[in-house]
Amino acid sequence: MSRKTRDKLISAVTVVAAFISAATLLVIIGFILKTGLPVLSPDFLTGEYNPKTSYLDIKKAPRAFIAEKTADGDIFIREFGITLKQTKDKEGKTAFTVTGIKSGSPALEATDAAHNKRPLKTGSVITKIGKTGTEGLSIPAAADLFKNAGDKLRIKAVIPGGGIYPMIIATLLTILLSLGIVMPVGVCAAIYLVEYARGGRVIEIIRFATECLSGIPSILFGLFGMLFFVKYLNIGQSILAGSLTLSILLLPTVIRTTEETLKTIPQSYKEGSYGLGASKLQTLCRIVLPGALPGILVAVILSTGRIVGESAALLFTAGTFANTPKSVLDSAATMTVRAYVEVKEYGNVNMACGIGVILIAIVLTLNLSSRFILNRLNEKRRDRA
Amino acid sequence: MKYKLSKFSDRFFKAVFLLCALCSVLMLLAITIFIVEKGVKPFLPGNANGNYSLFNFLTGDVWKPSQNIFGIGYMAAASALATAGAIALGVPTGLLTAVFIAEIANEKLAGIIRPMIELLSGIPSVLYGVFGYAVVAKIIRSFSPYHVGDSLLAVIIILSIMILPTVVSISEAAIRAVPAAYREAAYGLGATKTEVIFKTVIPAAKSGILAGVVLGTGRAIGETMAVILVAGNPEGGMPGGIFDKVRLITNNIVLEQGYASGMHEEMLFSTGVILFIFIMAVNILLNRLKKRIGET
């Protein structure tokens, strides 16, 4: 083989390798989008995860809807604009499942006993109409109950779950809380390392510890968090315990990113500030920190990405519950944790991919925005030079 | 008076900053102490939950908490094999990709592939697991002699994809850091482009590339959520082939931590200690490499 052909051959091998790397990404993202996109719907994003039984008050429509042709055995209730089908509830009793709701139907404005808006959804199972239970009720009899209702009708219905709203809320709370804890600590640590430290043993130890921390796998953070925050400090499995655990995990990223930007603040700026009689603290607050703001923003973005994608550290600290958290002391699963639980426990790849689409959208947005900030920063630096 | 006040607040804040900086040291210590303290209990005499032989723990190939059998030898072997396999697959691919981006592709093509690799590193590990569960394991099932998709092979494939971005980005940086004079000298001696790359540039970038490999190794050893969905997680048995089900060290913790108590829970922490030792060894190796890069 001549050297020239060998040269070409080896070049071709690198092309193939690069192609494989890029294709892997496309295949993974393609798979997640293909499986996940059909799952996405407003109900998926805003609905509760668990089915919920509640009493709903529905006002009668001011004018009856125009009669509609329905599938065999279904009936369209003109007064409320909903289509019903006779089915069985979980205990095998007769019930009526909502198979269609016209737009503008008052059922979409239904309220629960506490006057919170709780719209009836397609797939809801009605087990009581007014004061009459649906057991043994025929379809025409049920339709009569609706027709003869007063201005307001109370029904008992099981509204289907399957939404990820609780996980979205849990994820947002976890992001806010974790950033709230780690950003002040991390930025202050970086300030110490760049602005105060004069080298020596302490700094070496701090740097070594930070580096070690960044190498520890998240499952070990999870173990520690469970032992220390959940049990030892007795916080219990909660968003708070999860966020505290994440804060430790994020610390190295925040410190390193902030440090990098702090180092780029020109020495002359600080000297100018000192020359005007400012103290070290004043210089930090007025000169150094404002200049480092874009870098701190990048640290926030990077951390958010890690929080959104983290699961092993949260599994035993924040838990896997799919109820909407009322406070940070509640146990609640983030989207990523839930995606894992869905696949591991139920083999529910569709829901995991639905969550996956959202996660990829978030990661992509964060990726682009951090790159945008860094580009702007570099341009500025070039202008200054 | 005002001067004194500002001097006081300067000192006060310096202390606050130092305290924050010490946080990482404190947390590292706390993590080490808490995990190790609980993890070594079963091997020390006088433990409330009973004792277990360290030798049996490290070399055992059966894990049956219900019968008080705790052997993680087969998990350690699986973790080592999975990591080695991921490196064997991921490093050549990653290194060649880095060579392509840094030396062969034009700016435009490199500008397309590089962000794609970066995005690969941003995808949450659970999604790799979902992909492995729904796609990779299914494909493997179609030709596996046991007709099971969960296997060492699936774990290796997922892990090698996951270390790819680390290997690519660090190798690329190392290759780019090689001075242009090296290349010019090699060209001057009549070398072809690939000879320049593989005989001059890569040897010069060796330490940096090695650092990428070590970092990737750390990631592969510590990875949990992606591989748990495709590993199969059996209760025992040394892995004998790539189609065997395996249970990795990390998986063991996640699978059972939710309900473990007493000696069982302590044993999971012991598993954590073993993982911790693995990772620290990798970290120290990485630190050495970085120092060597700094020197050259």
B139 touches chain A (CB under 8 A): no
A368 touches chain B (CB under 8 A): no
* Between A93 and A326, the higher pLDDT residue: A326
Cα separation, B129 vs B136, in Å, equals: 10
Cα separation, B226 vs B251, in Å, equals: 10
- Which residues between 212 and 231 in chain A have a beta carbon less than 8 angstroms from any beta carbon of chain B? 212-213, 215-224, 226-228
Give the residue among B174, B195, B127, B152 at the shortest CA–CA distance from B294: B174
Question: Is the model's pLDDT at B2 over the cut of 60?
Answer: no
Select the residue from B26, B31, B197 to test the A interface by mutation, using most A Cβ atoms within 10 A. B31
B33 touches chain A (CB under 8 A): no
CB within 8 Å: A18 and B113: yes
Q: Residues A177-188: pLDDT tens digits?
A: 999 999 999 999
Nearest CA to CA, how far is A187 from chain B (Å)?
A: 8
- Say which of B31, B164, B286 has its CB closest to residue A216: B31
> Looking at residue A15, what is its pLDDT?
93
CATH architecture of the domain with residue range B54-295: Orthogonal Bundle (1.10)
Contacts of B76 (CB under 8 A, 6+ apart): B58, B249, B274
Cα separation, B274 vs B253, in Å, equals: 11
Alpha-carbon distances, residue A304 vs A7, A84, A174, A186, B245 (angstroms): 45, 45, 10, 14, 35
Where along chain B do its domains lie?
A: 54-295
Give the DSSP letter of residue B154: H
Mean of pLDDT values over B99-127: 91
Do B272 and B249 contact (CB within 8 A), yes or no?
no
DSSP reduced 3-state for B49: coil
Q: Residues B199-233: pLDDT tens digits?
A: 999 999 998 899 899 889 999 999 999 999 999 89
Report residue A282's pLDDT band, with 50, 70 and 90 as the boundaries: confident
CA angle B216, B220, B226 (to 5 degrees): 130
Alpha-carbon distances, residue A211 vs A21, A248, A311 (angstroms): 28, 12, 21
Spell out a b/e string for B104-128, using b for 16 or more CB atoms within 10 Å of the CB, else e: bbeeeebeebbebbebbbbbbbbbb
Cα separation, A104 vs B175, in Å, equals: 64
Do A320 and A231 contact (CB within 8 A), yes or no?
no
Domain A165-384 - what CATH class?
A: mainly alpha
Question: Is the model's pLDDT at A150 over the cut of 80?
Answer: no
Report residue A74's pLDDT band, with 50, 70 and 90 as the boundaries: confident
Q: Residues B33-67: pLDDT tens digits?
A: 999 999 999 898 888 888 888 899 999 899 998 89
- Say which of B17, B94, B129 has its CB closest to residue A196: B17
Residue B128: list chain A partners with CB under 8 A: 28
Where along chain A do its domains lie?
A: 3-39, 51-159, 165-384
Q: Residues B119-141: pLDDT tens digits?
A: 888 899 999 999 999 999 999 99
Question: Is the model's pLDDT at B296 over the cut of 70?
Answer: no
* Between B38 and A160, the higher pLDDT residue: B38
Do A48 and A163 contact (CB within 8 A), yes or no?
yes
Which CATH number applies to A51-159: 3.90.1150.10, 1.10.443.10, 3.20.20.450, 2.30.42.10? 2.30.42.10
> Looking at residue B4, what is its pLDDT?
61
What six digits make up the tokens of A319?
A: 């838990």
